[in-house]
Amino acid sequence: MRKVEITREPVELYKILKFEGLVSTGGEAKLLIADGQVTVNGEIETRRRKKIVNGDVIEFRGETLQMQLV
């Protein structure tokens, strides 16, 4: 599990995928989220603008990310 430091919350889900380099563009992230390929806290998440906060766990393509507010 990889820790991802965020400096503010909430952060939109698609932005985390983009900024962490899991996708190349925000548009790609939005499509993959809408397609049900991302889970947040163990549940499939299809809302592109889902608000992510401290402690949330995102899983995508074998990567697990845990948000940590700094």
pLDDT, residue 55, reads 98
Cα angle 37-41-47, degrees, rounded to a multiple of 5: 50
Q: Which amino acid is at 28?
A: E
Token pair of 57, please? Answer: 């766990």
Mean pLDDT of 14-41: 97
Quickly state the pLDDT bin for 60 (edges 50, 70, 90): very high
Indicate which CATH number applies to the domain containing 27: 3.10.290.10
Question: Which residues span the domain enclosing 50?
Answer: 2-69
Distances 2 to 49, 55, 60, 66 between C-alpha atoms, Å: 22, 12, 12, 6
Number of domains in the chain: 1
What pTM, to 2 d.p., does this model score? 0.94
Q: What is the mean pLDDT of the chain?
A: 97
Distances 66 to 27, 39, 57 between C-alpha atoms, Å: 22, 12, 4
Q: What is the longest distance spanned by two Cα atoms in the chain? A: 31
Mean pLDDT of 13-31: 96
